[in-house]
């Protein structure tokens, strides 16, 4: 059963050993993941008639032949559900998915699944899948329909560098950018500039075939040109942007001659591909799921457990150190308020500043000020980590541990209990087997020193392995979905 798989045997044992809040954190996260399961999203939004695909009551002619392609961490279940919806109307399907996503043997299907991109990094397997997708798309005619399934992780599963750039050269440059702390949007801008299929390349190859794209968003604000590096929408970036990004992170001087040739050259575009209102005229794009859905479900789950809960922001981004400091400060102010502090000036000032930096949802600042009982605040987004060490971990583990360290700098009333979880909805946090972690509470001076050593070496996974024998690591495996990260903060007051 899905719910047991999400909690996992080890985390269920944690629930038996620890306070019920740990169970609440895990179950709230579980509900957020369940709400954005691809099969459920498609079932609720897609149907088919004898001659049309229906997306939210909009009708699209199926054409003479209907084909399906897909790429991303969440497209396995999207593709299987689409096959169920289309039945015999589906002619061919090629879908690239992460290695290890099939927990058991592959289901009986006519879909050609190609596994690749171990640890969410492009490789020869995923490039082979991209070539298979390219070959299929190039055979399509004007009276065909192409259904494109897209989710986060699609960039690594659709790698096809513009010659003479090699896959290794592209991979090394993107890795260097990520280690420097580049945002997902910056990474995607550079990817698009070096790619055959990204930045609208795939849509142009499909022209004049009719295309319907179904997107599960893993990017803040759901910009179609950045999700999976925008293969189905025109690239609005100026050619100079990728160069400017590399300059910003002091990487431009070290790029290979082949990358220089592409960056300073002109990307070939197919002629006469009509664009209407900034989008390709032959392509209709739909966002079928995003992090707001997941965050809203998490908040609803918290309310069902008796908490006062709000979704604070779905736009959390920036360095995890800064975010951890913000969360710790907010937690301390809320803790003091719940313990009876009547002075709201500091909390009001903080929320105003937080709103400026992280975009609090409309009207929420005033609602947070009214909360009085046990609180569960939900945040969503995708922080970044500047990698300076050689350790093992991911942004969620790094954030959870940073939060624990930062919280020690504040005086938390003894009548208040703090609990915090940071997890990726895809179930994979960095090159580890964990989705994220639950912050340790009340770490003493020795543990704090060790925690800081691990943080400095980007080695949060090692800390959590030692803390309570790894009980705070949340291990759920591939969830089959991906809408960035969910952060759950619980502040409880005991009389």
Give the Cα separation of 128 and 134 in Å (integer).
10
Measured distance CA(404)–CA(424) in Å, rounded: 18
- pLDDT surpasses 70 at 207: yes
405 and 449 assigned to the same domain: yes
CA distances from 374 to 201, 302, 330, 334, 378 (A): 50, 10, 15, 10, 13
Residues 264 and 365 reside in one and the same domain: no
275 vs 299, residue with greater confidence: 299
Query: CA dihedral defined by 476, 482, 484, 489, rounded to 10 degrees?
Result: -40
- 247 and 316 co-located in one domain: no
Per-residue model confidence (pLDDT) at position 344: 82
Cα–Cα nearest to 194, from 164, 223, 224, 219: 164
Same domain for 366 and 234: no
CATH number, position 74: 3.40.50.10180
**Same domain assignment for residues 268 and 362:** no
State the residue range of the domain holding 75: 38-289
Average pLDDT over residues 313-333: 95
- β-strand pairing of 416-424 with 485-493: antiparallel
Residue after which a domain boundary falls, among 223, 256, 289: 289
Whole-angstrom distance, CA of residue 241 vs CA of residue 487:
32
> What does the pLDDT read at residue 269?
53
Average pLDDT value for the chain: 91
pLDDT more than 70, % of the chain: 94
Beta strands in 129-222, from DSSP E residues, in sequence order: 144-151, 210-216
* Among candidate residues 289, 323, 355, the one where a domain is terminated: 289
The reply to whether 51 and 68 lie within a common domain is: yes
- What is the domain count for the chain? 2
Predicted pLDDT of residue 352: 84
Share in percent of the chain as helix, strand, coil (round to 5): 45, 20, 35
Per-residue pLDDT tens over the stretch 94-109: 999 999 888 776 777 9
Which residues have C-beta within 8 Å of that of residue 215, sequence separation ≥ 6? 150, 151, 222, 224, 227, 285, 286, 287, 288
pLDDT bracket for residue 240 (50, 70, 90): very high
Q: How confident is the model at residue 11 (pLDDT cuts 50, 70, 90)?
A: low
The verdict on 51 and 133 lying in the same domain is: yes
What pLDDT, in 10s, does the model give residues 60-77? 999 999 999 999 989 999
Phi, psi of 305 (to 5 degrees): -95, 5
Asked if 43 and 59 sit in the same domain, the reply is yes
* 230 in the same domain as 169: yes
Say how far apart CA 417 and CA 21 lie, in whole Å: 10
- Identify the CATH number of the domain in which residue 335 sits: 3.40.1480.10
Q: Shortest CA distance to 419 belongs to which of 407, 434, 410, 409?
A: 407
Residue 9 is predicted with a pLDDT of 44
Q: How many CB atoms lie within 10 A of CB 490?
A: 23
Q: Are residues 243 and 358 in the same domain?
A: no
pLDDT tens digit string along 444-473? Answer: 999 999 999 999 999 999 999 999 999 999
- Of residues 340 and 217, more confidence is placed in 217
> pLDDT for 327-357, tens place per residue?
999 999 999 999 988 888 888 888 888 877 7
In a shared domain, residues 106 and 56 = yes
Which among 267, 289, 311 is the end of a domain?
289
Distance, CA of 83 to CA of 110 (rounded, Å): 8
Residue 267 has pLDDT above 70, yes or no: no
Residues 25 and 69 in one domain: no
Distance CA 343, CA 325 (A): 21
């Amino acid at each position: 059963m899905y719910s047991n798989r999400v909690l996992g045997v080890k985390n269920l044992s944690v629930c038996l050993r620890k306070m019920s809040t740990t169970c609440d954190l895990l179950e709230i996260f579980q509900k957020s993941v369940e709400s954005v399961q691809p099969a459920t999203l498609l079932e609720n939004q897609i149907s088919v008639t004898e001659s049309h695909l229906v997306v939210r009551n909009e009708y699209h002619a199926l054409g003479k032949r209907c084909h399906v392609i897909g790429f991303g961490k969440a497209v396995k279940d999207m593709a299987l559900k689409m096959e169920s919806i289309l039945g015999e109307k589906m002619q061919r399907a090629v879908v690239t998915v992460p290695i290890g996503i099939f927990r058991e043997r592959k289901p009986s299907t006519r879909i050609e699944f190609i596994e690749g991109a171990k640890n969410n990094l492009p490789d020869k397997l995923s490039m082979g899948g991209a070539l298979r997708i390219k070959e299929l798309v190039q055979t399509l005619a004007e009276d065909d329909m192409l259904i494109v399934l897209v989710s986060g992780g699609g960039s690594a599963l659709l790698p096809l560098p513009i010659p003479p750039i090699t896959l290794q050269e592209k991979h090394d440059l993107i890795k260097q950018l990520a280690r420097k702390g580049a945002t997902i949007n910056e990474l995607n801008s550079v990817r698009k500039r070096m790619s055959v299929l990204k930045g609208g390349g795939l849509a142009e190859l499909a022209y004049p075939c009719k295309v319907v794209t179904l997107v599960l968003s893993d990017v803040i604000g759901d910009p179609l040109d950045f999700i999976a590096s925008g293969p189905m929408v025109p690239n609005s970036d100026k050619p100079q942007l990728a160069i400017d990004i590399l300059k910003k992170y002091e990487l431009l001087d070290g790029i290979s001659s082949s990358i220089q040739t592409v960056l300073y050259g002109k990307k070939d575009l197919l002629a006469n591909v009509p664009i209407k209102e900034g989008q390709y005229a032959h392509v209709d794009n739909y966002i079928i799921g995003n992090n707001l859905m997941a965050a809203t479900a998490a908040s609803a789950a918290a309310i069902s457990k008796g908490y006062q809960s709000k979704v604070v922001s779905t736009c959390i981004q920036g360095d995890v150190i800064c975010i951890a400091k913000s969360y710790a400060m907010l937690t301390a102010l809320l803790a003091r308020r719940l313990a009876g502090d009547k002075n709201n000036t500091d909390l009001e000032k903080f929320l105003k500043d937080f709103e400026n930096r992280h975009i609090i949802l409309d009207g929420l600042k005033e609602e947070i000020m009214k909360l009085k009982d046990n609180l569960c605040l939900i945040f969503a987004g995708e922080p970044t980590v500047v990698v300076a060490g050689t350790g093992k971990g991911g942004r969620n583990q790094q954030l959870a541990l940073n939060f624990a360290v930062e919280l020690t700098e504040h005086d938390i009333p003894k009548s208040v209990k703090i609990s915090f979880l940071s997890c990726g909805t895809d179930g994979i946090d960095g090159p580890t087997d964990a989705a994220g972690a639950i912050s340790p509470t009340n770490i003493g001076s020795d543990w704090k020193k060790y925690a800081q050593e691990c943080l400095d070496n980007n080695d949060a996974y090692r800390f959590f392995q030692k803390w309570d024998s790894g009980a705070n690591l949340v291990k759920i495996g591939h969830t089959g979905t991906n809408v960035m990260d969910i952060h759950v903060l619980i502040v409880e007051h005991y009389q």
